[in-house]
Structure 1
Amino acid sequence: MTTEIGKELRKLRIDQDERLYDMSHRLEKSSAFISAVERGSKSPPLGFEELVIAAYQLASDAADAMRRAADRSRKAFTIEAQTPLERDAAGLMARRMSSKMDALSPDELEKILAILRKGECD
């Protein structure tokens, strides 16, 4: 099954008239690795989408689409919180997102996303 990032990578290759082999050389990753990320048998490693964005000099909209696709293709995230407040927020968010009993509602998640996205535009 193709992941969200797999769809974006394939679309990028088609737009650039490249083969998987060409992309692997440009990204300095093996063809097998890129194929595994596309299929979802490997999660895109941290920073992979930024490597793609830089290698292909993606414009703002395409870069944002690649970042969203990478996030949607990951099942786990690592957050390095620096302060006690950041650790409290990260821990609570993780517990609420993984809880069956006290899960965040779609409306609550939309509100959190709106707050976080507001900071991206600055």
Structure 2
Amino acid sequence: MFTQFGKVLRKIRIDRGMLLKDMAEGFGVSSAFLSAVETGKKSIPNGFVERAALFLGYAKGSAEWDELQDAAAISKGEIALATQGLTQKHQETALAFARHFEEMAPADLDKVLQLLNATKKRREE
């Protein structure tokens, strides 16, 4: 069974007509290792997602880059958020969200997601 990250990589391979061995070679790993990462038998090493994105030609911050990063975070089961250098308000908000995340109702999560997506759209305009 594939992890979310594995599913995304597999789809990219199929869409581009690539073989597992070709993608692994481009990422600088063996086919066996890439297969193990895709199925969750091996964890995603630090820097691996960025290396993969660059090989695939994804610009940092692009939708494709974000999709790969998000899939890796989901597969790891943990999301890290760097707060160093951010304002006190940013840090307090991140901590409050993390503290109450599991208790939030689906409707509240939808509202937060809608707000964040609106912020992203405004930034892109």
Equivalent position amino acid for 2:32 in 1: A
Q: Distance in 1 between matches of 2:98 and 2:120?
A: 21
Corresponding residue of 2:77: 75
Following TM superposition, the consecutive aligned residue runs of length 4 or more in structure 1 with deviations greater than 6 angstroms are none
TM normalised by structure 2 equals: 0.72
**Correspondence list, 1:1-122, <5 A:** 1-45=1-45, 48-57=48-57, 62-63=64-65, 65-82=67-84, 83-98=87-102, 103-121=103-121, 122=123
Equivalent position amino acid for 1:117 in 2: N
Q: Distance in 1 between matches of 2:15 and 2:3?
A: 18
Over aligned residues, Cα RMSD in angstroms? 2.6
DSSP-derived class of the 1:2 partner: coil
Greater shift, 89-98 or 44-53, is seen at 44-53
TM normalised by structure 1 equals: 0.73
Counterparts in 2 of 1:115 and 1:16: CA distance versus 1, 3 Å: same
